[in-house]
Every structure is written in C-alpha cells, then in structure tokens.
Structure 1
Amino acid sequence: MVMPAYGSGAQPTVWQPVNLDELQALKNELSGKYYFAAGTTLLRTQWEGGLVPVPEHMISLARIPDASGVYVDGDDLVIGALTRLSHCATDVLLQQLPILQSAMNAIAAPSIRNLATIGGNIVSGVGDSIPALLVYDAQLYWLTDNGMEMRSLSSWLNGGRDGSRNPNDVLMRIHIPMENTPLPDANSEQTAVAREISFYRKLGRRETFTASLVTIAFHGEVDIDGHWIKIAIAAGGGSGMAMRLTESEKLLLGGETSVMQASSLAASVMAEFVTYSDAFATEEYRKQTAGNMLGAGLWEALRS
C-alpha cells in the first residue's frame, strides 16, 4: 500500500498513489474522509474562507500516469484532467478549440493558471471552462467504484442538479470529438462548411481573479449557401451551473445567417437561461446580460 507523503497534527495526511490500483485502494480504505487534490487552488480558497472543513486526508493525483497532457486518440482530442490551465492556454493541439483557449486565459491570474488544472475547474461544477467544453460536446472519463466510465459533460452537470453524482469518482481525462469538415469536392455529398463562427465572453465584477457574473460560449458552422448547419450555445457564471441553450440553438439552426438574428437570439437566451440571484447580481440581470452578450457576439461576428 502506498505510504502517506506528509501530514501531522491539524494538517491533513497527504497520500500520493502512483497508479490507478493504489488510488482505488485508498478510496476504499479512507471511507470518504478525504479530498482529491491536484492544483488545490480552489480548495485553499474554500478553506481560508471557511466554506469547507480541512479534511483528515488528501489524495494527491499528481503521480498518476497519463493524467496530464494533450494528445489525439482516434477521432478525439484528449486532455488529461491534471493538465495545467496555463498549458491548455498555449497547447498547439488546442488551437483547434479557440473557445476553450479563450476560456483558459480568462480564468484567474497567470500565477493561479500555472497551478490550477482543467480537471479541478470542471469538478468545481462552476468553472469558467465549462461553457466552452459544453459547446464542444466534451465527454468526461471517470475512475468510479466500478472502473472507468464515460459520461457527457451535460449529463454530469445534470447529476449535480438531481443529486446523482458520486463524490468518490475521479475525473481522469476529457475527450472532445474532432469532426473533420473540409470543403468537399464537387461530387461529394458532404455538406460544405464555408465558415466557422466561435466566441467566448466572460463578465466579472472586475477584470481578473474574480468569479464571473455571466460566461457564454458560441460555436456555429455555416454552409456555402450561408445557412447554419451546426449551432452550440452555452451559458453559466458565478456559482450557477452552466447549461446548453438548446431552444436558442434551434432558433438559428437551418436558417440563413443575418445580423437580424442577433436580437431574436438575445430574447431567446433571456427566456431560456436558468440562473440565480445573489448579493452581486439578480437573476434577471444575469439572464439579460447573457442574452445581450450572445446577441452582440453574433452581430459582431456576422458583421466582420
């Protein structure tokens, strides 16, 4: 059995398993009296604010092989859950996902991004990477009590709403399907993609290192005739869970691109987005802001 790395007194004992078997054994032995740790940037903030207690044990995931880095696996682009945000922001492969790289650069300050991981940002349930990953149809691979299991990001988020998540599951990697959409030849039946329109926006209480009030992401594909053939829209922010805005997607899908769609999209988003009120902003403000940000982003993209 793996030995603890350190810990004494009021400080948690930190364990550093070196493979998945050791990790699974520790989960069973410690009986839920632990937190998983990677960059620990969020955990430290929560402890200092008294939001969560310091646990008896911490299980570091830093030595688990193949849990970090970015690579291609078949038709998927794979991101290890322990990959630092700063690495994600500059990785050459992730340049194919401009919305995600925009999100990485909008999270916290550079010093935090050098420590924090994409897995930690996701597992928080409210991370600013989540809207971007939603529009890319991200799939999450978890080490569960029954072995490795895959769930879509959308279904995992829904598990937070209905209480079906298992806190003992460990996020190991993120898979993003990479669709090959080159312009076809004249005899091809494949729909030609003439243009991609993507943008990401975050509104916070100040420029950096603060929880967002509203975060939005938009990814669309337009055919050579100027019609939308793919639309994905997501919104979140603050301590609210991000969501795909499927009704707003249907509003655009199949239609001809036009700057006139910006106002109707804004109104649809305001009606569909489910959010909350707190001391910093009302629910109505967040809904209106999400609609305005998406409408303005679409207007700017179509005008350019």
Structure 2
Amino acid sequence: MVMPAYGSGAQPTVWLPVNLDELQALKYELSGKYCYAAGATLLRTQWEGGLVPVPEHMISLARIQGASGVYVDGEELVIGALTRLSHCATDVLLQQLPLLQSAMNAIAAPSIRNVATIGGNIVSGVGDSIPALLVYDAQLYWMTDNGMEMHSLSCWLNGVWEGRRNLNDVLVAIHIPLENTSLPDANSERTSVTREISFYRKLGRRETFTASLVTIAFHGELGADGRWNKIAIAAGGGSGMAMRLPESEKLLLGVEASVMQASSLAATVMAEFETYSDVFATEQYRKQTAGNMLGAGLWEALRL
C-alpha cells in the first residue's frame, strides 16, 4: 500500500499513488475524507478564500503513470488529464486543435499554466478550455467506483449542473475524434473540405489573468460548393455552464457561407445561450456579448 508523503497538524496528509490500482485502493481506505489534487492551483485559491475546507487527506495525482502527455490512439487524439496547460499550449499534435491551444494561452498567467493541468481545468466545471473541447466533441475517460467509463463532455457537464456528479471519479484522459482534427490520417471524407474557419474568444473583466465573463468557440468547415458542411458552436464563461448551441449550428449548416450570416447568427446565439447574472454582469449582457463575439468572429473570418 502506498504510504503518505507528508502531513501534520492543520495540514492535510498527502498521498502519492503511482498508478490507478493504488489510487482505487486509497479511495476505499480513506472513506471519502479526501480530495484529489494535480496542479492544485484552483484548490489553493479556494482554501485561501475560505470557499472550501482544507481536507483531512489529499490524494495527489501527480505521479499517476500514463495520465499525462498527448498521443494518437487509433481514431482518436488522446490528452492525458495530468498534462500541464503550458504543454498543451505548445504540443505539436495539439496544433491540429487551434481552438484548444488558444484557450490554453488565455488561462491565467504563464506561471500558473506551468503547474495547472487540463484535467483540473475541466473538472472545475467552468474552465476556459471547456467551450473549445465541446466543439471538438471531446469524450472524457474516467476511473469510477464501477471501473473505467467514457462519457461525452456534454453529458458530464449536464450531470454536474443537475447534481449527479460523483466526486470520487477521477478524470484520466480526454479523447477527441481524429475527424475533428487536421491530422493527415484523419477521416478521408475531409478531402471535400476546402476551408476551415475556427476562432476562440474570451472576454474578461480586464485584459488578462481574470475569470472570463463570456467565452465562445466556433469551428466550421466549408465544402467545395461554399456551403457549411460542418458547424460546431459553444459558449460559456464565468461560473456558468458552457454549452453547445445546436439551434445556432442549424442556422448555418448546409447554407452557403456569407458575411450576411453574422447578424442572424448573433441574434440566434443571444436567444439560445443560457447564462446567469452576478455582480459583474447581467444575464442579458452575457447573452448579447456571446452573440456579438460569435457574429463578429464569423464576419471577420468570411470577409477575408
């Protein structure tokens, strides 16, 4: 059995399992009196702000074998959940996912990105990587009490906001279908794609190093006939749930691309996006901003 690394007094006892078997055993032994940590950047902020109590035990995921790095596995691009944000921002394979790399560079400061992990950003439920991963149809690979399970990011988010999340589950990896990348050996149907249009935007309360008010992601593919043959749009931001926008996607799918679509897209997004009000921005402001950001991004991309 893995032994604790350190811990005394008011500080949690830190455990360092090196594989998933040891991790699963620790879960049962500690009987829920623990929390998981990887980079722990968000946890430190929450503890210092008194938002969550310091646990009796902390299980560090930092040494789990095979849970970091980026590689191709069959028809999927796989990102280990413990991969640092800074690595994701520069990884050669992830250059095929420009929206995700844009998101990585928009999160916090470089010093934080050197410590924080993509898994931690996702598991927070409100991370800025989530809209980008939604448009790439990301699947999440979990170690659960019942064994290893795969769930779509969209389904997992719905579970979080409906209170069905199991805090004992551990995110191991993120899987993205190769057909959603530009890798040479991806789906052969991509030969009909003549142009890809992708953009990611984050609006915060100041220019950098702040939580977002609104975050949007757009990925579209144009066929030889100039029509949209694939569209994926997502929006989120702040402490609200990021979501795909299927009605906004339907507005464009199969239609010939035109800058004139920018205003109608903005209006549809405003009507569809579900968000919230807080002391920093009203629900209406967030909805309007998401619509304007997506409409402006589409207009800029198509006028070139």
Partner of 2:285: 285
Aligned-pair CA distance for 1:21? 1.0
TM-score (norm 1): 0.96
Partner of 2:270: 270
Partner of 2:45: 45
Partner of 2:201: 201
Q: What secondary structure is seen at the aligned counterpart in 2 of 1:222? A: strand
TM-score (norm 2): 0.96
CA distances 1:28-63 after superposition (whole Å, capped 9, x unpaired):
111111110000000000111111110001000111
Structure 1 residue ranges, 4+ long, deviating more than 6 angstroms after superposition: 180-183, 188-191
Partner of 1:89: 89
Partner of 1:67: 67
Unaligned 5+ residue runs, structure 2? none
Matched AA of 2:39: G
Q: What secondary structure is seen at the aligned counterpart in 1 of 2:125? A: coil
Q: What secondary structure is seen at the aligned counterpart in 1 of 2:126? A: coil
CA distances 1:205-249 after superposition (whole Å, capped 9, x unpaired):
011111000000000000011000000000000000100001100
Partner of 2:247: 247
**Aligned residues: CA RMSD:** 1.5
Structure 1 CA distance for aligned equivalents of residues 285 and 131 of structure 2 = 19
Spell out the pairing of 1:208-247 with structure 2 (5 A cutoff).
Answer: 208-247=208-247
Matched AA of 1:120: G
Spell out the pairing of 1:132-151 with structure 2 (5 A cutoff).
Answer: 132-151=132-151
Structure 1 CA distance for aligned equivalents of residues 183 and 81 of structure 2 = 30
Q: What secondary structure is seen at the aligned counterpart in 1 of 2:47? A: helix
Aligned-pair CA distance for 1:161? 1.8
Aligned-pair CA distance for 1:190? 7.4
Aligned-pair CA distance for 1:181? 7.3
**Contact kept in structure 1, 2:96 and 2:182, CA below 8 Å:** no
Q: What secondary structure is seen at the aligned counterpart in 1 of 2:103? A: helix
Matched AA of 2:84: R
Is 2:77 the partner of 1:77? yes
Aligned-pair CA distance for 1:146? 1.0
Structure 1 CA distance for aligned equivalents of residues 189 and 34 of structure 2 = 54
Identity %: 86
Structure 1 CA distance for aligned equivalents of residues 112 and 190 of structure 2 = 44
CA distances 1:238-288 after superposition (whole Å, capped 9, x unpaired):
000100001100000000000000000000000000000000000000000
**Contact kept in structure 2, 1:191 and 1:223, CA below 8 Å:** no
**Contact kept in structure 2, 1:182 and 1:193, CA below 8 Å:** no
Structure 2 CA distance for aligned equivalents of residues 272 and 209 of structure 1 = 28
State how many pairs are aligned: 300
Partner of 2:176: 176
Spell out the pairing of 1:288-299 with structure 2 (5 A cutoff).
Answer: 288-299=288-299
**Contact kept in structure 2, 1:181 and 1:193, CA below 8 Å:** no
Structure 1 CA distance for aligned equivalents of residues 183 and 55 of structure 2 = 51
Partner of 2:35: 35
Is 2:21 the partner of 1:21? yes
**Contact kept in structure 2, 1:132 and 1:217, CA below 8 Å:** yes
Closer/same/farther in 2, CA of residues 190 and 292 from structure 1, 3 Å limit: closer
Unaligned 5+ residue runs, structure 1? none
Q: What secondary structure is seen at the aligned counterpart in 1 of 2:217? A: strand
Partner of 1:156: 156
Aligned-pair CA distance for 1:18? 1.1
Structure 1 CA distance for aligned equivalents of residues 21 and 69 of structure 2 = 21
